[in-house]
Structure 1
């Protein structure tokens, strides 16, 4: 090791096997400690919308934040920094050293299943918000982890697919958010993605990991793998990967020891990885003098936390259209709230972003609290295609009577490994267990709180039997269908039977794990992921849901309620079936008969407001029929209260879109998520999202990136280039005047349209002002010099854009107010 390595003395105390052991996790979310050098075990937690802790399902009650697109729609770096600080407090309460976030991949195609936990389609907006978020976390000594490096913009066959893109697109678009965050906030860790990039696994990327990240950028943090992403020993170790997750098994261990002993991997490479691990440990207080965790902290349901989450959610909501229907006046009369998403509001997406919140407020609950008896609530059409775990409020533990279920785990000999209560109806098996022997069988038992006819069944790989009051009523053997072990957690197979249940009936579900022979992956390999899929691991859930009414009956009831109310609020949206890790969408159309519901209500109602409970673009064929449209995203545990505040004007929903909304399926610069022969070509190059729309590479979007009305109107009285900033980029001054009747926040956006025909328009800066009615403010936008670069592929280095072009001063590219020649 170099003599200037501050950890050289510690490394000398470790033999090769100990060093290698430290480079693979000890469990699903923890790392090994080493007492001899003062290294404490470290704990990681997923964290895009909350710090879940060490359990994938269940676990501690933690705060559920608004999702990333809601937070990003505020276009506010201070908001992002505040969120980072709040997440650090959540982490400290659980003694978590590193939060696995933010997710800063881009919204390349609107079909991406994981867009909800990513900020935007723009690299500058994403990078600046990520930098602020990282600062908020790390200012309090909790490590951030940027993910996923790199070109990981879709989920289909994510473990096997190859993202193919030019070096120019890689540098100018997909690496840029990482570059900005590394330069401005120095994140202490980064996560390498599942996919290959131009034929090389992200965990083995000599070019990205060693040459760019650790070389050109001089980044000194720790590069970890995504969970189960590492495929090899020597190529990954030589390709810049520092840590394999999860543990305790993986491709390193003895294999990496042999690679070092044979000379395939120099021991100095292992030492460099351990050095980065020790540096992370020192930064988060796990090396030498260990950090002292706070004795007290803000509870996830404390009044202070409730108020913060409510405000953050409202600030990111986007008013797409408003013909004077919003905000609802205090004396607006009666309101008919219609839609499944109104009574079962979706507050978070699926996958590693899920947490176990203390409560979730539906829109119906929030509006009821705000306007009382003036509200009528009507359920909507079915919005799901697959069964879901039973509502724990409908179940009671047969021993304690608490809402939820009783769970027992057994080994292969039938010996009880553990039992207890869970306030959900799901349990994960084989993922984050801490039993002394493998689980072979699980039982889930509960008493029914209300009588009714229900769909009764189960979710999860295994051989199932369902009994009611001791009599078997259903059975099925469910097997994994896909090639991603994440599907066993996020899209497990299911079955249901229609059953009449009496109040107090005892329902018992038993699942025995089905372990099959590993089948080859799509690339023909039988690998670690193949064995995981064959292991039977995954989520196991009891399904019990009232049989839904027919769509025609539901729509008729909604129409009747809308006809007699002064205003109808229809809530539509997506669920975790579409907005989730491990799966992509196939359409932007709302599921079920939601479009028909909106059209029918709009025809009957005096005024119709549509609330879109979805984080990502949806089609709105009814937009011209309604009076207002508000996108509320996945608003977190305070969602219903935040939506009520937005609709009633208690707080302005001043958000701006972070993704362009296509007008029809297929009308986007990039669409496909399905790789061909495991390759996904990034044919849009540097013309991602709004850049491609503006260049005519797709039909104009229904709603442009940056669009959002708030509750005021604005004049842009003057705009000028007022000099240059520290890095030589222009400084733009804009005078805006609030011509509305309410205090409002305006986000002034500046775009560069280069003179070169082959260069896309791009966001180069933004700034906001809060202005009273009739008043004016001068807003200064400091443009970012990094957007005046282009990657010269022939020379292999950055070059400066040519002279000329113009700056567009806009409220989104669909509403340009000034053009300033350069």
Structure 2
């Protein structure tokens, strides 16, 4: 242990106190030993240090900070160096705001397009995600502060995220859901990891010794700190034994006392506590060293311009019929759409950044050179139909050469704690588009949202740009692409299905009660669409440019692949060349192809460059569930270089000797997986895959509600109080939406409706303890008066313990 001498000076109570927060955002301090508090702040795409005191509950407004494009946006750049640059600027701002640990990046897989937090995650591919995340981490930590990669692991839905049990086979767990974390640990050297809320195969992730000890601490040799998601601790002792050091936020000392009691009773080894304290002290001391240098205020304007550069390189050109873009000189444009006036530039929830500057489209036309003849909102932002707005928009469109139509999803549709109901753009926006097309077919659509959407209307637009959520400078960045000042180079980091029903997890998302079954196994995103021959609207890795590129002269050796890339067009541009690998053997079920490398290259018009993408430890491996380790299959492998997963330009083969591991599966028992047709896997076949019987997916309605049951389950509570509580929460949500308080309504669903009862104690900073929760449970389970008086008694005892002189 690094800090053995300091730990030896601590009392048992002091050591235990370090294992939970001092308040909502700070760790505990021990002044007599020189141990200071460190500050943790949300910050996947900008610092959200709350402007109010750290002991105030809630998603309060943050101190102004640069709002960079979200991870879903930056992933479309396919530029690891750019991600590292974002990280560096985030690290610099963290220092300026006295933040020690930045809670990001988020690197969960985009298993399903409806996950409400997809805007905060990079990709459906673990390799791309891991490489981008490692870049962010290196950048952030170059300033001496710590990144905190989240949410570890298989947290792929927002609904019931604090209680849902994720059922996934070991191979999919390793290859799909843990690979990005592995790269973040091994290549990014992250100092901190945040455990997720959910269960994994029956055990909460922060108590899951297979996940936390066997894999994270054992195989990956991770020696950093693991932090719970806020309120994510279930059994504190089991979490500590698994290696989850820091519980956030504070519980008012309640769980510290549990740790002390467990050690005194012999239920917990003090050695485990000491090692946990040692790892946390390392995080505290190393991040405090960053503040020994003279502090310099960051350049707000410079950071804004960096945010713009990142957005420019991440914008994806999806359609450009008749080369309507870039806009020709002198063309008159009509600007239509509410998102043009009030930019949609970030997600919602804990990642909301208070921007230092905010560009709006209407303020940026003069410098763009685009001739704007007027603006009309065209639609109501939150879906209400307004024929008059459509009429006014059409009158303006008749006068223009080109219509710039800004459409997308509003702030409360994509939000933490909630999943989207569908993949559609709101109907009132589509009605506007159809009306505009009737009077002026020269329409360029600009989409603002953080995830994939269906586009049955795509034939109504001549050009289509997807800006995703471009941060505070995103509006100006889009205009620079429209005008031709910037040649678009973004490529999609996720597939766009023709319709939601085509997605492999359609039948099993989200988990509605006790469990969610990942029956599609390794076949998520393009892995499924390619293997099952399902047509998509836009494939993974797709993106157009204002120039053209030609691929030639592939050469493969044991260490990598080389080829030539030529800019055959008339404009300088950047191309993302992608390496895919496919195994020709049919002995083990595998996706048709998997991304195993990529490179972004700038090439002048007419220039040819020789490009090389090296192989690495990930290139040929698969996880063998029989040997319980990574293996390489002896086989011929297709080495494919493409402009997208569906546009393979060059191909060669290479033979690998392999590791001669035994075959992990009985082929006849897993026909769906060997065919890649996994959208309707029967239960018995999935049970063969996971090697055990499936748990009951339904809540047990015969049992009284307990700590890990949600307030949402009060609809079948035995007590009238419980059912009234349930109805009052639903009414509050309905009423708040009715009066336009949509964000507050969402907050109710996230922080009350889907909250387990234990969360009432874990999230209130010590104002409510577990004995008080016992009283609440008595009330909802039909013993109202006994529970009410128990609650009052425990509340009085808690108040007396905190302020003995005042009572």
Name the structure 2 match of 1:724.
558
- Secondary structure of the structure 2 residue equivalent to 1:252: helix
Name the structure 1 match of 2:416.
581
> For 2:617 and 2:563, how far apart are their aligned partners in 1?
19
Name the structure 1 match of 2:47.
51
> For 1:360 and 1:775, how far apart are their aligned partners in 2?
38
- Secondary structure of the structure 1 residue equivalent to 2:422: coil
Structure possessing the higher relative contact order (Cα contacts under 8 Å, 6 or more residues apart) = 1
Name the structure 2 match of 1:741.
570
- Secondary structure of the structure 2 residue equivalent to 1:245: coil
Name the structure 2 match of 1:15.
11
Q: 2:117 aligns with which of 110, 114, 139?
A: 114
Task: Summarize deviations over 1:521-544 as a string: whole Å, max 9, x none.
Answer: xxxxxxxxxxxxxxxxxxxxxxxx
Structure 2 contact 573–603 (Cα < 8 Å) conserved: yes
Structure 1 contact 315–653 (Cα < 8 Å) conserved: yes
- Secondary structure of the structure 2 residue equivalent to 1:742: coil
- Secondary structure of the structure 2 residue equivalent to 1:223: strand
Task: Summarize deviations over 1:461-515 as a string: whole Å, max 9, x none.
Answer: xxxxxxxxxxxxxxxxxxxxxxxxxxxxxxxxxxxxxxxxxxxxxxxxxxxxxxx
Name the structure 1 match of 2:639.
807
Cα offset, 1:228, TM superposition:
0.1
Task: Work out whether 1:382 is the aligned partner of 2:216.
Answer: no
Structure 1 contact 367–640 (Cα < 8 Å) conserved: no
> For 2:311 and 2:418, how far apart are their aligned partners in 1?
25
Task: Work out whether 1:566 is the aligned partner of 2:401.
Answer: yes
Structure 1 contact 111–586 (Cα < 8 Å) conserved: yes
Q: How does 1:606-625 map to 2 (within 5 A)?
A: 606-625=441-460
Structure 1 contact 325–607 (Cα < 8 Å) conserved: no
Name the structure 1 match of 2:537.
702
Name the structure 1 match of 2:269.
266
Q: How does 1:207-286 map to 2 (within 5 A)?
A: 207-249=210-252, 252-285=255-288
Name the structure 2 match of 1:692.
528
Cα offset, 1:383, TM superposition:
3.1
Name the structure 1 match of 2:54.
none
Name the structure 2 match of 1:318.
316
Cα offset, 1:679, TM superposition:
0.4
> For 1:324 and 1:372, how far apart are their aligned partners in 2?
19
- Secondary structure of the structure 2 residue equivalent to 1:291: helix
- Secondary structure of the structure 1 residue equivalent to 2:311: helix
Cα offset, 1:53, TM superposition:
0.8
Structure 1 contact 714–736 (Cα < 8 Å) conserved: yes
Name the structure 2 match of 1:356.
354
- Secondary structure of the structure 1 residue equivalent to 2:471: coil
Name the structure 2 match of 1:422.
none
Name the structure 2 match of 1:675.
511
- Secondary structure of the structure 1 residue equivalent to 2:187: helix
Consecutive unaligned residues of structure 1, counting only runs of 5 or more, are 386-547, 726-730
Q: 2:156 aligns with which of 153, 156, 170?
A: 153
Q: 1:646 aligns with which of 478, 481, 496?
A: 481
Structure 1 contact 134–144 (Cα < 8 Å) conserved: yes
> For 1:670 and 1:82, how far apart are their aligned partners in 2?
35
- Secondary structure of the structure 1 residue equivalent to 2:602: strand
Cα offset, 1:373, TM superposition:
5.7
> For 2:238 and 2:253, how far apart are their aligned partners in 1?
14
> For 1:128 and 1:313, how far apart are their aligned partners in 2?
19
Task: Summarize deviations over 1:64-87 as a string: whole Å, max 9, x none.
Answer: 111111111110110011011000
> For 1:796 and 1:238, how far apart are their aligned partners in 2?
23
Q: How does 1:266-665 map to 2 (within 5 A)?
A: 266-285=269-288, 291-292=291-292, 294-299=294-299, 302-329=300-327, 331-371=329-369, 374-384=372-382, 550-665=385-500
> For 1:746 and 1:126, how far apart are their aligned partners in 2?
19
- Secondary structure of the structure 2 residue equivalent to 1:295: coil
Cα offset, 1:811, TM superposition:
0.7
Cα offset, 1:293, TM superposition:
5.7
Cα offset, 1:606, TM superposition:
4.8
Cα offset, 1:249, TM superposition:
3.2
Q: Which has the higher helix share?
A: 2
Task: Work out whether 1:797 is the aligned partner of 2:795.
Answer: no
- Secondary structure of the structure 2 residue equivalent to 1:787: coil
Name the structure 2 match of 1:763.
595
Larger CA deviation: 673-682 vs 653-662? 673-682
Structure 1 contact 23–274 (Cα < 8 Å) conserved: yes
> For 2:512 and 2:469, how far apart are their aligned partners in 1?
32
Q: How does 1:35-50 map to 2 (within 5 A)?
A: 35-50=31-46
> For 2:330 and 2:480, how far apart are their aligned partners in 1?
15
Structure 1 contact 335–375 (Cα < 8 Å) conserved: yes
- Secondary structure of the structure 1 residue equivalent to 2:284: helix
> For 2:160 and 2:263, how far apart are their aligned partners in 1?
32
Cα offset, 1:769, TM superposition:
1.4
Cα offset, 1:372, TM superposition:
6.8
> For 1:310 and 1:375, how far apart are their aligned partners in 2?
25
> For 2:77 and 2:395, how far apart are their aligned partners in 1?
37
Task: Work out whether 1:90 is the aligned partner of 2:88.
Answer: no
- Secondary structure of the structure 2 residue equivalent to 1:767: strand
Task: Summarize deviations over 1:250-278 as a string: whole Å, max 9, x none.
Answer: 76211111111111111111111101101
> For 1:787 and 1:326, how far apart are their aligned partners in 2?
40
Larger CA deviation: 748-757 vs 44-53? 748-757
Q: 1:751 aligns with which of 564, 571, 580?
A: 580
TM-score by length of 1: 0.76
Report the CA distance shift for 1:185/1:665 in structure 2 as closer, same or farther (over 3 A): closer
> For 2:324 and 2:331, how far apart are their aligned partners in 1?
13
Q: 1:787 aligns with which of 614, 619, 625?
A: 619
Structure 1 contact 361–639 (Cα < 8 Å) conserved: yes
- Secondary structure of the structure 1 residue equivalent to 2:20: coil
Structure 1 contact 807–819 (Cα < 8 Å) conserved: yes
Cα offset, 1:371, TM superposition:
3.7
> For 2:253 and 2:337, how far apart are their aligned partners in 1?
46
Cα offset, 1:744, TM superposition:
0.5
> For 1:79 and 1:294, how far apart are their aligned partners in 2?
27
> For 2:198 and 2:550, how far apart are their aligned partners in 1?
46
Name the structure 2 match of 1:450.
none
TM-score by length of 2: 0.78
Task: Summarize deviations over 1:380-439 as a string: whole Å, max 9, x none.
Answer: 212315xxxxxxxxxxxxxxxxxxxxxxxxxxxxxxxxxxxxxxxxxxxxxxxxxxxxxx
Name the structure 2 match of 1:174.
177
- Secondary structure of the structure 1 residue equivalent to 2:529: helix
- Secondary structure of the structure 1 residue equivalent to 2:35: coil
Cα offset, 1:329, TM superposition:
3.7
Name the structure 2 match of 1:545.
none
Report the CA distance shift for 1:254/1:651 in structure 2 as closer, same or farther (over 3 A): same
Cα offset, 1:644, TM superposition:
0.8
- Secondary structure of the structure 2 residue equivalent to 1:272: helix
Report the CA distance shift for 1:115/1:23 in structure 2 as closer, same or farther (over 3 A): same
> For 2:253 and 2:375, how far apart are their aligned partners in 1?
52
Name the structure 2 match of 1:775.
607
> For 1:603 and 1:715, how far apart are their aligned partners in 2?
38
Name the structure 1 match of 2:658.
none
Structure 2 contact 331–370 (Cα < 8 Å) conserved: no
Q: 1:79 aligns with which of 82, 107, 116?
A: 82
